[in-house]
C-alpha cells in the first residue's frame, strides 16, 4: 500500500434532520435509528452493508474503549444487516446455501453460518437466528447475500427480504446486569450463549440474543420498524447508568485476540473455510449444499493464524518475510493493550508453516520487527468469557 493510499480516509457524518438537503449518494447511506445517541461524541462513520457504522468517537480512545469493553460494559450500534428468510421451504433453502445443518438449529437458538460459492470459496459469514420453524434472520457481514439466496430459491415456497431491522450490542462483564435492569418483566431464563429470546423493553417486544462481535460476555438487541426504537434505546441507556454505559467505537484488537474473522479482509471468496480456519463450520456429512463437491476435494489444512509482534503493529498487506522471501499476508492488525504487543490475523502461503514460526514483519512505522505466529484465539481457547464461565476482570498492565 502506498503512502498516498494510507492517508485516504472515508468518513460520513449523518444528516442533522430529514429536512436537510442531501446528495443522491448520501441517501444511500442509512444511519442507525439510534444514531442520535452517538452524535454528542463527534462520530466519524464508514459504510458497512450500505449502512453507517461509527469508526471513531470522542467517548474514548481505542485503548480506553478496549478496557471499558473488557472490564465494564459498552454500547455499540452496529452495521450488520439482518436478512429475513421465511416460508415452508426456508429451512430447505438455507440448508442448500450454508455449510452446517440448519435442522439442528432449534427455535430460540442462534448459529454461526458461512456460505460458499461453487468453488468452495467463502462468500459470507454471519449469525442465523431461528425465530420459528419457518422464519429466520441472518445477520450478515458486509456484502450482499440477499440476491444469492433469491437466485437459489427458484421453485421454493419462501420469502427473502430486508425486514429493516437494526442491531445494537451491549458487551462486557456488566452487560447482563444491564439487560436485567432494562427488561420490563422477568429476565429470560434460560439465556445461554447463542440463545435468542423475546423480551419487553420500554413496552416494546424485541428479540435479544447472547451474541456479539467482541468475544466478551454480551447480548444484542434486534430493533424492527414496528417498535418505538427510541424508547428502547433510552431504556437501555438508563439501565446502564450505574455502569457508565455509553456508545463507543470498538477497534479490532479484541476480535483479533479472539480469532473472530472479518469478512472481506480476513477471508474472501478466494479462500476456502479450511484455509480460513473455519473447517469446523463445514459438515460434509449433511446433504448437498453449494460448494460441497469442491470442499470434498479441498486441502483441509489451515493457512490462517494469529501473529504477535513485540513493539509494533504489522502493516496490512504482504509484509511477512521468512528467510528473505515473502510468505504471506497480514489481513488485520492492531495494538493489544492486554497482551502489550501488536496482534494480527495473517494468511500464509504455505500450510506447513505452523504456529510458533518466527517471521520478519514490516510494521506501520516502516520498521521491520520479529514476530511469531500463534493459534487463534490467542487466549480463552474454550471461549469461556462470552459463555459466562470465566468472570475474572483483567488487570490493566502497569505503564
Q: What are phi and psi of 318, to 5 degrees?
A: -80, 75
How far is the C-alpha of 43 from the C-alpha of 185, rounded, in Å? 34
Tell me the longest C-alpha to C-alpha distance in the chain: 63
- Which range, of 40-49, 207-216, 362-371, averages the lowest pLDDT? 40-49
Q: What SS3 class is residue 111? A: strand
- Where in the chain are the domains? 3-76+164-253, 303-399
Under the phi-then-psi rule, with left for phi > 0, alpha for psi from -120 to 50, and beta for the rest, what region is 294? alpha
Name which of 190, 196, 231 is nearest 212 in CA terms. 196
Q: Residue 10 above 50 pLDDT?
A: no
Strand ranges across the sheet with 110-116? 110-116, 122-132, 135-140, 81-86, 159-161
Q: Residue 25 above 50 pLDDT?
A: no
Mean pLDDT of 207-233: 97
Share of the chain above pLDDT 70, in %: 93
How far is the C-alpha of 245 from the C-alpha of 247, rounded, in Å? 7
The predicted-structure confidence for 150-163, as pLDDT tens digits, reads as follows: 999 999 999 999 99
8 A C-beta contact, residue 137 and residue 222: yes
The predicted-structure confidence for 276-318, as pLDDT tens digits, reads as follows: 999 999 999 999 999 999 999 999 999 999 999 999 999 999 9
The CATH T-level fold of domain 3-76+164-253 is: Gyrase A; domain 2 (3.30.1360)
How far is the C-alpha of 305 from the C-alpha of 310, rounded, in Å? 17
Average pLDDT, the chain: 93
Under the phi-then-psi rule, with left for phi > 0, alpha for psi from -120 to 50, and beta for the rest, what region is 180? alpha
Predicted confidence band at 7 (pLDDT cuts at 50, 70, 90)?
A: very low
The dihedral through the CA atoms of 356, 358, 359, 365 has a sign that is positive
Under CATH, which architecture does the 303-399 domain have?
Beta Barrel (2.40)
Predicted confidence band at 106 (pLDDT cuts at 50, 70, 90)?
A: very high
Other CB atoms within 10 Å distance of the CB of residue 133:
12
Q: Residue 257 above 80 pLDDT?
A: yes
pLDDT value, residue 11? 47
The predicted-structure confidence for 172-210, as pLDDT tens digits, reads as follows: 999 999 999 999 999 999 999 999 999 999 999 999 999
CA angle 123-28-51, nearest 5°? Answer: 55
Under the phi-then-psi rule, with left for phi > 0, alpha for psi from -120 to 50, and beta for the rest, what region is 212? left
Binding positions for substrate = 220
Q: Residue 2 above 80 pLDDT?
A: no
Binding positions = 220
Amino acid at each position: 500500500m502506498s503512502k498516498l493510499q494510507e492517508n485516504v480516509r472515508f468518513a460520513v457524518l449523518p444528516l442533522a434532520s430529514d429536512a436537510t438537503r442531501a446528495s443522491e449518494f448520501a441517501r444511500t447511506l442509512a444511519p442507525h435509528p439510534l444514531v442520535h445517541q452517538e452524535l454528542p461524541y463527534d462520530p466519524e462513520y464508514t459504510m458497512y452493508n450500505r449502512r453507517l457504522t461509527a469508526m471513531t468517537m470522542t467517548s474514548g480512545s481505542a485503548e480506553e474503549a478496549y478496557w471499558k469493553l473488557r472490564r465494564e460494559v459498552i454500547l455499540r450500534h452496529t452495521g450488520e444487516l439482518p436478512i429475513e428468510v421465511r416460508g415452508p421451504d426456508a429451512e430447505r433453502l438455507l440448508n442448500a446455501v450454508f455449510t452446517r445443518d440448519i435442522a439442528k438449529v432449534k427455535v430460540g437458538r442462534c448459529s454461526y453460518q458461512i456460505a460458499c460459492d461453487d468453488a468452495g470459496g467463502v462468500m459470507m459469514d454471519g449469525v442465523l437466528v431461528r425465530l420459528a420453524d419457518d422464519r429466520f434472520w441472518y445477520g450478515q457481514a458486509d456484502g450482499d447475500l440477499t440476491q444469492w439466496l433469491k437466485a437459489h430459491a427458484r421453485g421454493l415456497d419462501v420469502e427473502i427480504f430486508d425486514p429493516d431491522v437494526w442491531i445494537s450490542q451491549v458487551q462486557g462483564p456488566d452487560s447482563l446486569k444491564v439487560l436485567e435492569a432494562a427488561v420490563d418483566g422477568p429476565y429470560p431464563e434460560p439465556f445461554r450463549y447463542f440463545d435468542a429470546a423475546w423480551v419487553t423493553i420500554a413496552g416494546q417486544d424485541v428479540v435479544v440474543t447472547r451474541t456479539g462481535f467482541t468475544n466478551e460476555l454480551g447480548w444484542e438487541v434486534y430493533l424492527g420498524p414496528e417498535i418505538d426504537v427510541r424508547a428502547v434505546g433510552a431504556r437501555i441507556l438508563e439501565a446502564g447508568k450505574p455502569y457508565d454505559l455509553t456508545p463507543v467505537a470498538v477497534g479490532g484488537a479484541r476480535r483479533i485476540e479472539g480469532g473472530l474473522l472479518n469478512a472481506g479482509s480476513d477471508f474472501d471468496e478466494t479462500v476456502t473455510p479450511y484455509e480460513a480456519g473455519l473447517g469446523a463450520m463445514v459438515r460434509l456429512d449433511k446433504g448437498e449444499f453449494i460448494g460441497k463437491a469442491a470442499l470434498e476435494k479441498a486441502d483441509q489444512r489451515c493457512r490462517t493464524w494469529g501473529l504477535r509482534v513485540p513493539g509494533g503493529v504489522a502493516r496490512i498487506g504482504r509484509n511477512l518475510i521468512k528467510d528473505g522471501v515473502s510468505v504471506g499476508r497480514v489481513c488485520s492488525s492492531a495494538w493489544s493493550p492486554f497482551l502489550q504487543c501488536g496482534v494480527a490475523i495473517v494468511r500464509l502461503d504455505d500450510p506447513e508453516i505452523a504456529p510458533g514460526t518466527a517471521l520478519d514483519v514490516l510494521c506501520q512505522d516502516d520498521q521491520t520487527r520479529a514476530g511469531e505466529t500463534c493459534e487463534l484465539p490467542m487466549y480463552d481457547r474454550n471461549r469461556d468469557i462470552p459463555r459466562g464461565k470465566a468472570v475474572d476482570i483483567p488487570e490493566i498492565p502497569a505503564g
